[in-house]
Amino acid sequence: MIAKRIIPCLDVADGRVKKGVNFVNLTDVGDPVEIAAAYQQQGADELVFLDIAATNEHRETMATMVEQVSAQVFMPLTIGGGISSVADMQRILRAGADKTAINSAAVANPDLIRAGAEKFGNQCIVVAIDAAWDEQAQQYRVYTHGGQQATDLDAIEWAKQAVDLGAGELLVTSMDRDGTKAGFDTKLYQALGAAVNVPIIASGGAGNLQDFVDVFADTTVDGALAASVFHFGELTIADVKSALKESGVVVR
C-alpha cells in the first residue's frame, strides 16, 4: 500500500508566508525559508509553495526563493502561482522545484498541461483546482485568480480533462473549507476519486487530528495538505502521523 502524504502548504506574497480564511484576510506567518526548514525537521513528506499574488499581479513566480528553499530542504517541492508557460515551468524546475502547479493558466490554456507533460513528464505537472459548491447549479464550480474569478467549469469534469491532457497529480482546494478548520470536504474528494486515476491532494479545512483520519478513511486521496494548523503550532506533522498510524493509515 502506498503511504499517504502529509503536506504543509506555504502561501507566499511579498516574500512572506501568509494565511487567510476563504482566500481573504491574510495574516503574516513568517519567512518561507525558515518555515520550510522547520517543516523538514518535523518530518513533512512534501512542501507546496503557492505564490498567491503572482497571477493577479501579472508577474512571474519567485524563482530566487525556490533556489533558497531547495538549498535548505531535501523533500519534494511543488511550486505554483504565476506559471503560464513551459518556459516558466522550466525556470522553476531549474531553480529546484520537483513539480510545478498550474491553475489559472491551465484553465485559460488547457494545452499548457499537455505541453508541460510532454517536455518534463506527467509527474512534474500538478493541476491545482480551487473549487466551491454552487448550490443553484448543484456542482462544484472552478475558480481562478486566487479564488477571485468564477468560471463556468464543473470541477469534476475539469479534473477529468486535466488528467486526459497529462496532469500527473491534482491539488484540489475546497474554497468553502479553506481556513475554516471545519474538516476536509469529503464529498468533493469522493467525487474526484471516482472520476480520475491520478494522485489527489486534499486541501482546505484541516482543523484537528480526526480531520486527517477522516479524509483518508472516507476518500481515496493520496495526500492531505494543511496550513493554519501547522503554521500556528496547533498540530505538528508528528501528531498527525501518529494519529494516522493508530487508525491504520500507512504513512512514511
Q: Assess whether 130 carries a catalytic annotation.
A: yes
Instruction: Out of 45, 51, 88, 130, pick the active-site residue.
Output: 130
Instruction: Out of 11, 45, 51, 222, pick the active-site residue.
Output: 11
Distance (Å, whole) CA 32 – CA 206: 21
Q: If DSSP codes are grouped into helix, strand and coil, which group holds residue 217?
A: helix
Q: Which residue from 34, 37, 61 is spatially nearest to 49, judged by alpha carbons?
A: 61
| Residues 205, 51, 171, 105, Cα dihedral to 10° | 130
Residue 130 in grid coordinates: 480551487
Q: What is the DSSP string of 96-119?
A: T-SEEEESHHHHH-THHHHHHHHH
Residues annotated as catalytic are: 11, 130
